[in-house]
Structure 1
Amino acid sequence: MRGRLTVVTLGVGDLKRSTAFYAGLGFSISSESQDAVTFIDAGGVVLSLFGRVALAEDAHVPAEGSGFGGITLAWNVGSTAEVDTVIAAAVEGGARLLKQPGETFWGGYSGYFADPDGYPWEVAHNPFWPLDADGTVALPA
């Protein structure tokens, strides 16, 4: 297992406004984007924009009053078994399990853990996003 940061998700208040902002800065919006989420090629890392409340719900953390900063980190892997392996290793290493790995509403498989300082990490297998040989997400243009 080799650690890799593949996605940074920002919990935003207004998805359309935030998408227009990043597009205006010259970031390329991926065709994989949907009504509820925007995916942006950020040069080897995917920048994802998602509603703040929905992001907190997905990570199984309270949206308000908990210190949730409105950001999650993600590690995409090549299979569901790898998701289970990474989550188990994180918990064994001192992480707190936030969300048991399982099937997702978007057709993938993921779970969440909080690192020792409380930062939420999603570990995901997205069958729609191929990974390069080095594990980099090959986000469609």
Structure 2
Amino acid sequence: MEQNVHFITFAVADLDAARRCYVDALGWRALLDVPEEIIFLQVAPGVVLGLFRADKFNQDIADGADRATVSGVTLSHNVPGPAEVERTVEALRRAGAVVLKPPQPGEFGGIFHAHVQDPNGIVWEIAHNPGWRVEPDGTVVLG
């Protein structure tokens, strides 16, 4: 198997809240939005974030268990500077996200960041990391 990921899918209890948070508040464009089912957002070259209504998510797996919970996962979004961290966190807060850690210098790695939880429980780190960059070929450089 090649070392890559094409889709990251989360079960969400409230698809409309997800739409308000990502599409309305952040201005992200939906690659595909199937009302009452799923929203696909292209989040990087070749990578799609799927927000799948929880009951449909469980129906798709079809093993009889509730697989629609998220725990111990953080998605990170890196921005050009501390002011953009603050603006992004505020936009998410206005859209119903809960600020878990307000914008501040990080304890690890010299970053400036915050943590927010979207209306469906997905935790995001919004960060400015001066050691982070993406090369023209897509390779990520850390440090």
TM-score calculated relative to the size of structure 1:
0.48
User: Which structure: greater strand fraction?
Assistant: 2
Relative contact order, higher structure (CA 8 A, sep 6+): 1
Give TM-score scaled by structure 2 length: 0.47
Larger radius of gyration: 2
